[in-house]
Structure 1
Amino acid sequence: MSHPSIDSELLRSFVAIADHGSFTRAANIVNRTQSAVSMQMKRLEEDVLKRPLFEREGRGVQLTAEGQLLLGYARRILKLQGEVFTSLRQPHMVGAVRIGTPDDYVMRFLPGILARFSQAYPLVQVEVHCEPSYQLLQRQDLDLSIVTRQPGDEIGQLLRQERFVWAQARGQDLYERNPLPLAMFSAGCFCRAWACNALDASERPYRIAYSSPSLSALMAVVSAGLAITAQLESIITPDLEILGNRHGLPELPATSIVLVRNPASQSPVTETLAEQIVEGFRL
């Protein structure tokens, strides 16, 4: 029994809607008009799958049970398709590429991305530089930079948006301390400024008990129960618990993770790695 095929562009638009919760934002991601994306989804729901994939909620949308099922398949199909094209079109690429990233993302995202890239292109040398976002944006010698930006102040290509959250070691009550002991990145990091500004606005006393440019150092301090930190939700490890309003802590803004390409150093090697970074942050 034959089945109708699903156009990869339909799946790409579908995944963008699922990731961003809006037809409008998804249209910007896939470089189409909102009406074009709406027509794509109508075709996918009514003509191809004959199943409802979305539940409309005001200006946003949520996936139905069928939509959630399709999302897993869609991600796998697009990932495999990307690997096929990158592996077969340029199987013998050589050269070097320099990436800049805060070490927030080195532990969480880069291992899988670099492992897949190395397997497909073993002759390409990848050089990784770990620095805070504000320092990376000042450098001119990097091919690709993964940086954190405030929503509305994005540059380059949006990789994902995440909550910025408070966290402490499980079983601790550090949020009851006065002043609140914090473990934060060194001065100059706008994430540190966000946390301090939020505490100032809520008139919550605090002190910077530990400061370091190294995420692993900060997380070691927090895991030891010595201080509270504020970090991206995706890098909070299982031994930590997320804190919030019920603990008397102010809500923090969301952050945007973006990929910045250096226009002076673009090449097939650089662009191929950029594509894999984009895909890796969506997984």
Structure 2
Amino acid sequence: MSQFPSIDTEVLRTFVAIADEGGFTRAGERVNRTQSAVSMQMKRLEEDVLQRQLFQRDGRQVKLTAEGQVLLGYARRILKLHSEVFNTLREPHMVGLVRIGTPDDYVMRFLPGILSRFALSYPLIQIEVHCESSKQLLQRQDLDLSIVTRKPGSEIGQLLRKERFVWAAAQCFTPHEQMPLPLAMFNSDCFCRLWACNALDAIGLDYRIAYNSSSLSAIMAVVSAGLAVTAQLESLITPDLRILGENEGLPELPEASIMLVRNLNTPSPITECLAEHIIEGFKL
């Protein structure tokens, strides 16, 4: 059987850093190596180990060749498996189930990154995600962690971030031509809807709830089609929409607190590990 040279995982880590950062210098900062050390690593990888050109230099930018793109896919998979092995064997107790609750608002914006990073570190932990309104989540006793939106002065749990609510509509939408103003909002038990309606009432602007849903994606689809205005957290507004304000005759909306609530009756190491990932994820 033929013997192939091995590739050290640290070399693969440096290679992935170069691909992600687009240069040797920034990659060196990421892996804590000098630019010359990074260059030497890659030279040995190209000339001695693989005998293939992996990079194309374009000024200060570095791009991958076709062979480099192939290696990148394998490198990411190898590093992922390497991390899983160590996390699984070093922390064998990290096996179990965590139940988390969150409003639909945060599922697409925050959870994918949080859960993918958590799964990389703790691949044997099963996670159940329950999507309900903040009011409903706070009434449940079977969840280990809940992410909820709270009014100022009614915070409970640990603060993840503060965010302002904003009005948003499609680029082509003209509020002054749509009277009464059509709104696309969450169901009636959402206090954000109450905030929006109270703000419009305060300035005497006529409106109607034209679209009502418990799904953020459904609301955003309606708004993107130019059929209504919505009021949502600023971080949830997609690039195809524009934020509206006083120039369009709409009132300013208050700031909300996004909180992480732990179930004190079911504490566990795996729950706390996921809580730490959630806290970091909401900083991004």
Fold shared per TM-score above 0.5: yes
* Aligned-partner SS, 1:282: coil
Contact persistence 2:144–2:262 (CA under 8 A):
yes
Q: Deviation at 1:171? A: 1.9
Q: Structure 1: how far apart are the matches of 2:157 and 2:103?
A: 16
**Equivalent AA in structure 2 for residue 135 of structure 1:** Q
Partner of 1:180: 181
Match of 1:19 in 2: none
Partners of 1:213 and 1:107 in 2: how far apart? Answer: 14
Which protein is bigger by CA-based radius of gyration? 2
CA-to-aligned-CA distance 1:245-264 (integer Å, 9 cap, x gap): 11100000001000000001
Aligned to 2:157: 156
Which whole-Å deviations, capped at 9, do the CAs of 1:19-61 have from their partners, x for residues lacking one? xxxxxxxxxxxxxxxxxxxxxxxxxxxxxxxxxxxxxxxxxxx
Change (3 A) 1:89 1:105: farther
Deviations 1:98-146 (A, max 9, x none): 0000011011001000000001111000000001111101111100000
1:79-228 equivalences in 2 (<5 Å):
91-92=91-92, 93-228=94-229
SS at structure 1 position matched to 2:265: helix
What SS does the aligned partner of 1:265 have? coil
What SS is found at the alignment partner of 1:118?
helix
| Equivalence for 2:237 | 236
Query: 1:213–1:90: structure 2 CA closer, same or farther, 3 Å change rule?
Result: farther
Q: Which runs of 4+ in 1 moved over 4 A?
A: 86-90
Give the TM-score of the pair, scaled to structure 2: 0.68
Provide Cα deviations, 1:219-254, integer angstroms capped at 9, x if missing partner.
000001100000000010011000001110000000
TM-superposed CA distance for 1:174, in Å, is 3.1
Aligned 8 A contact 1:175 1:228 in 2: no
TM-score between both structures, scaled by the size of structure 1: 0.68
Report what 1:258 is aligned to.
259
Partners in 1 of 2:278 and 2:238 — Cα distance? 22
Q: Is the 8 A contact 1:143 1:262 kept in 2?
A: yes
Q: CA RMSD in A?
A: 1.7
Aligned residues: 199
Q: Percent identical across equivalent pairs? A: 71
- The aligned amino acid for 1:139 is R
Q: Is the 8 A contact 1:91 1:120 kept in 2?
A: no
Q: Tell me which amino acid in the other structure corresponds to 2:259.
A: V
Q: Read off the aligned partner of 2:132 and give its amino acid letter.
A: E
